[in-house]
Amino acid sequence: MANPKKLVLIGNGMAGVRAIEHLLKLAPDAYEITIIGAEPHPNYNRIMLSSVLAGGADMKDIIINDWDWYEENNIRLLTGHQAVQIDTKRRKVVSHLGAEAEYDALILATGSNPFMLPLPGADKEGVIAFRDIKDCETMQEASQKYKRAVVIGGGLLGLEAARGLLHLGMDVSVVHIHPYIMERQLDETASKMLQRELESQGMKFLLRKNTESIYGKKRVKGLRFTDGTEAEADLVVMAVGIRPNVELAKASGIEVNRGIVVNDFLETSAPGIYAVGECAEHRGIAYGLVAPLFEQGAVLAKRLAAVETEGYSGSVTSTKLKVSGVDVFSAGEYNEPPGTRALRYQDEVDGVYKKIVLQDDKLVGAVLFGDTADGSSLFSLIRKGESVKGREKELLLGFQPGGSGGAASLESRLEAMAADEIICGCNGVSKGAIADAIQSKGCASVGEIKACTKASASCGGCKNLVAGLVNLYAGDAAGEPAKEGICGCTPLGRDEIVAEIKRMELKSVKEVMNVLEWRTPEGCSKCRPSLNYYLGMLWPAEYKDEKESRFTNERYHANIQKDGTYSVVPRIYGGVTSPQELKKIAEVAEKFDVPMVKITGGQRIDLLGVKKDDLPKMWEELDMPSGYAYGKALRTVKTCVGSTFCRFGTQDSIGMGIRLEKEFERLNTPAKVKLAVSGCPRNCAEASIKDFGVVAIDGGWELHVGGNGGVHIRATDLLCVVKTEDEVVEWAGAFLQLYRENAQWNERTSIWIERVGLDYVKQALEKREDRLALYERIRAALDHTADPWKQIIGSKELRRNFESLAPAAVPN
């Protein structure tokens, strides 16, 4: 689409981003998308916060869409930005840090705020809510110094917080105003069974307690209750409910009640503005469960994509969760309202309780404790409203009385389910979708089903059902993960793929995917760039680089920053510049109002904060080659002054560095490559932590390989000693080509050398004829690689490339 509309999403949570996911499938080119998120994280699964608190998961484990996903879909993501103003007339959003985003359509997904009881002392240190990653970190830190914790609220969130604190070694009491816990999800019998289980884990309960005040000086010391009793505490966690976050909408003149009022198409009272998720109020109801929010997101995506939809008519809710290791499920009218009758089954030995509620021969509610396998089918019957007369006992027990029951009945129940029955309510995944993933895509484990369909990726309550379907459809292969190669799209590894490309002379990314039977026809952000590299490495003279398989930054010739601006780094050979070059850079920085000009660790000048629209013209006026600060290519060749000026220098390190940089500057490599040349063993250019380091000695040069100065620091290995500059270039080219031909995609030389061994590299380069053959191949690759200078300066092709970048194909 030539001129996509501008879409802004305020809120980087589960509901809003799910709507964006649907929209990208329905109309991938329709919108230029900006997402504004208050937290410094990509989209994560808030349901799994209790697992993070309890130590069962890390932050990386609960990320739903990582940073790469935003780049892959050309989404401008502003993390750590709080939207503070909506100008409905000029259609613009402003953040507290001054970032602006214009919109044609705006989605409010501001979620909800934890309700903090207005108690005397609630502002003391150590009194917090349990809502986000920051709260988890606060509780984890508190557990290192303090021992007594009190959680106010015996609902699901409070119990999960309490369980996490128990795991952290704290003494935990749960205060609840009601006579039994989780009264909104369970009846009294199930609640009491749950309480006994949690007490056996070490949790304490103070029921029918109404907190009067929180005491202590600066930090909390305890709570006083209205009945005159007290409870000591070093940490108080309030988990008493949530309230829709409507402040921004209200300040913007948008109609709000308890939540932001929306119609069946999730439209607010303001033109072009929509609301979805916990902040939205539809037909008087603000939902706090995941499944209804995802249903809203699907409707909104269709509306934005101009796809016909009947609209959102509300949700019949169910709760299927694992509370502190115990499976619970409830749906519909489970508390036996007038006019209903209930059937119950209770097994105190195995800890199983089941209740179904009937009205006019229809199933209207259910509670399951300990065994929730039938939850999905019961919920489906509640929603359909069909008669269940004569089947009541079967529904309650999960099998016909007198039958085999037990474990065998789960398979029969799953087999009897309709294909459209929802297995994973959190993510809306049906039995049919899971069956297709197993039968058509080779998924043979719960983990693979999770990766392919997202079933069991949220609360995990459906994991047993997913496992049952794997057993049902995968047969003997169940539980054996399908072989994964370079990514989940193929079982083939790097060497197998390269061998097949050579053998069958495959010449395009699409051809490789089709012939080698990729599981996903379009590939992914891992395999597409790697195939693009392998093809270019194998067929330098014939293969035409596929821009759509390049990282976004490589296509922009700039690094995107966290605020949506870009970083421009021109190449400065060997770190050596001139007054004329410096003057030109300064003039361009002034003209384009560059917020920051920084000297980098690679002896270059970085222009930070550049607007996307300024990039083509800026490169044109710089009239300098790109420094490839964004590419999987030769980045820099760092040098010291060497013998040119330094009294300790033994060789011309500047001249050697510039020669190496000009020799290999157009080289595409499996991962970024950095070189350095030091003029003496004092090693001022830090050659001993580079991919290829050159250190001058009396009468020659030491050549070092496999260094890394990044997160995983690795000192180089000494490869050899040579006498002449020509030999340095020859060995450097041979080494880099050996690495190019044998390393995996995105594998740094430091990791590659540890994998293959230094002896392998030495043996491969020992004979001069072998080195020259490798050097000739790298020269052939460079001869057919477009000069980055010509790619950028005054290039109409570059301008067309910038104009075609929405959406970009591949992330960084």
Mean pLDDT of the residues in the chain: 87
pLDDT over 60 at 400, yes or no: no
* Per-residue pLDDT band at 580 (split at 50, 70, 90): very high
* Per-residue pLDDT band at 402 (split at 50, 70, 90): low
* Per-residue pLDDT band at 456 (split at 50, 70, 90): confident
Strands lying side by side in the sheet with 273-275: 76-79, 31-37, 5-10, 105-108, 273-275
Torsion, CA 153, CA 157, CA 163, CA 166, rounded to 10: -60
- Which CATH number applies to 5-113+244-304: 3.50.50.60, 3.40.50.300, 1.10.260.40, 3.10.180.10? 3.50.50.60
pLDDT at 324: 62
Contact yes or no for 197/88 (Cβ under 8 A): no
CA distances in angstroms from 538 to 497, 740, 780, listed in the order given: 12, 10, 11
pLDDT at 801: 47
* Per-residue pLDDT band at 479 (split at 50, 70, 90): low
What residue spans in the chain does CATH classification 3.30.390.30 cover? 317-398
Residue 211: count other Cβ atoms within 10 Å of its Cβ: 23
pLDDT over 80 at 1, yes or no: no
- Cα distance between residue 88 and residue 273, in whole Å: 9
Q: Which segment, 544-548, 642-646, 709-713, is predicted with the most confidence on average?
A: 642-646
Model confidence pLDDT, tens digit, residues 664-674 = 998 999 999 99
Two tokens at 313? 């008519």
pLDDT, mean of residues 128-142: 90
Residue with tokens 């992330």: 811
Model confidence pLDDT, tens digit, residues 251-299 = 999 999 999 999 999 999 999 999 999 999 999 999 987 888 889 999 9
* Per-residue pLDDT band at 417 (split at 50, 70, 90): confident
* Per-residue pLDDT band at 599 (split at 50, 70, 90): very high
pLDDT at 328: 86
Architecture field, domain 317-398: 2-Layer Sandwich (3.30)
- CATH domain 634-783 topology: Sulfite Reductase Hemoprotein; domain 1 (3.30.413)
pLDDT at 469: 85
680 is in an annotated binding site: yes
pLDDT over 90 at 160, yes or no: no
**Phi, psi torsion values for 524, nearest 5 degrees:** -145, 180
- Cα distance between residue 473 and residue 244, in whole Å: 42
pLDDT at 405: 44
Pinpoint the alpha helices (H) of 201-313.
247-251, 290-304
- Cα distance between residue 360 and residue 341, in whole Å: 9
Contact yes or no for 439/448 (Cβ under 8 A): no
- Cα distance between residue 288 and residue 157, in whole Å: 12
pLDDT over 50 at 804, yes or no: no
pLDDT at 410: 63
Give one DSSP letter per residue of 121-152, joined into a string: TTTSBTEEE--SHHHHHHHHHHHHH--EEEEE
CA distances in angstroms from 569 to 610, 632, 800, listed in the order given: 11, 15, 21
pLDDT, mean of residues 149-161: 92
**Phi, psi torsion values for 331, nearest 5 degrees:** -160, 150
pLDDT, mean of residues 691-698: 95
Please indicate whether residue 795 or residue 430 has the higher confidence score (pLDDT).
430
Q: Give residue 352's region: left, alpha or beta (phi > 0; psi -120 to 50).
A: beta
**Phi, psi torsion values for 56, nearest 5 degrees:** -85, -10
pLDDT at 459: 62
Give one DSSP letter per residue of 322-360, joined into a string: EETTEEEEEEESTT--TT-EEEEEEETTTTEEEEEEEET
First to last CA, the chain: 23
The burial class, CB within 10 Å (0-12 / 13-18 / 19+), for 501 is buried
Two tokens at 287? 């939902």
pLDDT over 80 at 409, yes or no: no
Q: What is the 8-class DSSP label of residue 339?
A: T
pLDDT, mean of residues 293-320: 89
**Phi, psi torsion values for 727, nearest 5 degrees:** -65, -35
Two tokens at 39? 């937290």
The angle subtended at Cα 809 by Cα 803 and Cα 812, nearest 5°, is 105
Model confidence pLDDT, tens digit, residues 186-218 = 999 999 999 998 998 899 999 999 999 999 999
pLDDT, mean of residues 335-350: 88
Which residues, at least 6 apart from 643, have a Cβ–Cβ distance to it below 8 Å? 649, 650, 651, 652, 653, 679, 696
Contact yes or no for 11/111 (Cβ under 8 A): yes
What residue spans in the chain does CATH classification 3.50.50.60 cover? 5-113+244-304, 127-240
pLDDT, mean of residues 616-634: 88
- Cα distance between residue 559 and residue 594, in whole Å: 14
Considering the chain, what percentage of its residues have pLDDT values greater than 70? 90
pLDDT, mean of residues 723-732: 96
pLDDT at 322: 63
Two tokens at 595? 């917020």
* Per-residue pLDDT band at 795 (split at 50, 70, 90): very low
3-state secondary structure 286-321: CCCCHHHHHHHHHHHHHHHCCCCCCCCCCCCCEEEE
Residue 639, helix vs strand vs coil: strand
Q: Give residue 699's region: left, alpha or beta (phi > 0; psi -120 to 50).
A: left
- Cα distance between residue 399 and residue 73, in whole Å: 47
807: preceding bond cis by omega (within 30 degrees): yes
Q: What is the 8-class DSSP label of residue 481?
A: P
Residue with tokens 């304490």: 204
Q: Which segment, 346-360, 452-466, 789-803, is predicted with the most confidence on average?
A: 346-360
Q: Give the CB-side neighbour count of residue 636, counting CA atoms within 13 A.
A: 22
Give one DSSP letter per residue of 740-794, joined into a string: HHHSPTT--HHHHHHHH-HHHHHHHHSSHHHHHHHHHHHHHHHHTSPPHHHHHTT
pLDDT at 83: 96
pLDDT at 528: 85
Residue 52: count other Cβ atoms within 10 Å of its Cβ: 20
pLDDT at 656: 95
pLDDT, mean of residues 56-83: 87
- Cα distance between residue 327 and residue 347, in whole Å: 15
Strands lying side by side in the sheet with 127-129: 127-129, 235-238, 148-152, 171-176, 204-207
pLDDT at 689: 94
Q: Give the CB-side neighbour count of residue 30, counting CA atoms within 13 A.
A: 19
Architecture field, domain 127-240: 3-Layer(bba) Sandwich (3.50)
What residue spans in the chain does CATH classification 3.30.413.10 cover? 634-783
Q: Which amino acid is at 539?
A: W
Whether the pTM exceeds 0.85: the reply is no
- Cα distance between residue 493 and residue 483, in whole Å: 9
pLDDT at 805: 41
Q: Give the CB-side neighbour count of residue 464, counting CA atoms within 13 A.
A: 18
Lowest mean pLDDT among 543-552, 627-636, 774-783, 789-798: 789-798
Contact yes or no for 640/582 (Cβ under 8 A): no
